[in-house]
Amino acid sequence: MNIPEIVGAGLIVIGVGIGIGRIGGSAMDAIARQPEATGKIQTAMLIAAALIEGIGFAALFAA
Amino acid sequence: MQRKKILNLLTFIFLLTVLKTNAQHESSEAVQHEVTQHDEHGKALTLKEQIKADIKHHLLDSHDFHVTDYLTFPLPIILWDNGLQFFSSSKFHHGESVAESNGNYYAISHNNGHIYKTDSSGTIHYNKKGFESNEKPLDLSITKNVMMIIITSLIIFLVFSSLGKSYAKNGGIGKGPGRILEPIVLYIRDEIAIPNIGEKHYKKYMNYLLTIFFFIWFVNLFGLTPLGVNITGNIAITFSLAILTYLITTFTAKKDYWKHIFWMPGVPAPMKIILAPIELLGTFIKPFALMIRLYANMKAGHVVLMSIIGLMFLFKSWIGSPLSFGLAFGLMILELLVAALQAYIFTVLSALYFGSAAEEHEH
């Protein structure tokens, strides 16, 4: 592994981290506001996180 | 009584095979078993390189079933090379020697674990890029992964067919070990299939969704046992699973699905022309993302776990093993969650794609 690849992988991880972090935070907010909708929010959160993760992995393989 | 006798006989045969393979293994390997490993050029490897090589070896599919160094089962090799070649993988001696079958010679490459046709001394030639340039026969062998897939399918088949029969017998109440899985089946129906596909069409897709969920889950769990299989961390297998989802989506799609891809209603005509190729590309990207997600998650989990266990050997002090054990234990629990989560995600996303295919709009 050389330096551009390592830097690229780091940038990807930062991006994916911000994305999933924001989803998680928003889901927490939503659950705090409407605890009765926890199940639905969790499902939506997992799907969105999985989609971001998929793109992140695809980029990691390219790097 | 009859059944018990057969069971005893099977156990006896199993033990005999184990003893036999043990004896063979020890006699052939006793000479080569040294503390340090060597690479192809006979150079001694450092500890770090040894751990790397072990991790790489673990991630690959293999032609024998390696539980520990003293418990290894040979598996059948089936090659198509001017006629069927059928022999046991014990002929390779764990990739150390050349196997002969009907006058042809085969050797296993240490690089990727594939079988290549060689001369009688078993030399594998490498081209400039470092790839093998020998002729490669069509390999239809029952490898470790294939065997575990067959075992998993058998387990799923037995558990669910007995559960299904007990429903008919007991008037709608399940019996037997499979009953633990009943809430999961209901969850997939009520929380995954119906909301995503819709009341009207969900039944058609239920059997595929259930099969794919339990298959991926069980296979992931097997990957965490000391059997050392890495099935869903193999891109060929996730590729086949994703292809199934793609084919089902494409062939069950209604008129509205194609209309939304090629001529999106409700947008201006120039936009429709731009959107059509993007949407068409999207149909391929969806299963591609499914494939990469499952593969990368499982492979990454295995690599991290193995590296943490490898830490034990790198730290040359007393702190190494408790630290590595603690980390590995925590990660193992996380991996149990990931095993179920990845199966869930694959099922939910498949259901979403089926839902978009089965949808009927009233414009």
Contact B191 A43 (CB under 8 A): yes
Q: Which two tokens stand for residue B37?
A: 């490993």
- Position B5 scores a pLDDT of 67
Q: Report pLDDT for B26.
A: 44
CB of A9 less than 8 A from some CB of B: no
Q: Do A50 and B292 touch (CB under 8 A)?
A: no
pLDDT of residue B239: 93
The answer to whether residue B299 neighbours chain A at the CB level (below 8 Å) is no
Q: Which residue of A has its CA nearest to B299?
A: A57
Rounded to an integer, what distance in angstroms lies between the CA atom of residue B243 and that of residue B257? 18
CB of A62 less than 8 A from some CB of B: no
ipTM for this model: 0.71
Q: Which of A52, A57, A60 to mutate to test the interface with B (most CBs of B within 10 A)?
A: A57
Instruction: Encode chain B in three state secondary structure.
Output: CHHHHHHHHHHHHHHHHHHHHHHHHHHHHCCCCCCCCECCCCCECCHHHHHHHHHHHHHCCCCEEEEECCEEEECEEEEECCCEEEEEHHHHCCCCCCEEECCEEEEECCCCCCEEEECCCCCCCECCCCCECCCCCEECCCCHHHHHHHHHHHHHHHHHHHHHHHHHHCCCCCCCHHHHHHHHHHHHHHHHHHHHHCCCCHHHHHHHHHHHHHHHHHHHHHHHCCCCCCCCCCHHHHHHHHHHHHHHHHHCCCHHHHHHHHCCCCCCHHHHHHHHHHHHHHHHHHHHHHHHHHHHHHHHHHHHHHHHHHHHHHCCCCCHHHHHHHHHHHHHHHHHHHHHHHHHHHHHHHHHHHHHHHCCCCC
Per-residue confidence (pLDDT) for residue B2, from 0 to 100:
62
The pair of three-digit structure tokens given for residue B128, joined into one six-digit string: 């400039």
Give the chain A residue nearest B347 (alpha carbons).
Answer: A47
Question: What's the pLDDT score for residue B62?
Answer: 76
Alpha-carbon torsion angle B222, B228, B233, B238, nearest 10: -50
Q: What's the gap in Å between the CA of B128 and the closest CA on chain A?
A: 20
Q: Which of B351, B224, B198 is nearest to A46 (CA)?
A: B351
- A47: nearest CA partner in chain B: B345
Q: Give the closest-approach CA distance of A33 to chain B in angstroms.
A: 22
Q: Do B348 and A55 touch (CB under 8 A)?
A: no
pTM score of the predicted model: 0.78
pLDDT tens for the 63 residues of chain A, in order: 578 888 988 999 999 999 999 999 999 999 999 999 888 888 888 888 888 887 887 787 776
pLDDT tens digits, chain B, 363 residues: what are they?
A: 566 666 676 665 555 555 444 444 444 443 333 444 555 555 667 777 888 877 777 777 777 777 666 677 777 778 777 777 777 777 777 666 777 777 777 777 776 777 777 777 767 777 777 777 777 777 777 888 888 899 999 999 998 888 888 888 877 777 777 788 888 999 999 988 888 888 888 888 999 999 999 999 999 998 888 777 788 888 889 999 999 999 999 998 888 888 888 887 888 888 888 888 888 888 888 898 889 889 888 888 888 888 888 888 887 777 778 888 888 898 888 889 889 989 999 999 999 899 888 877 765
Tell me the residue length of chain A: 63
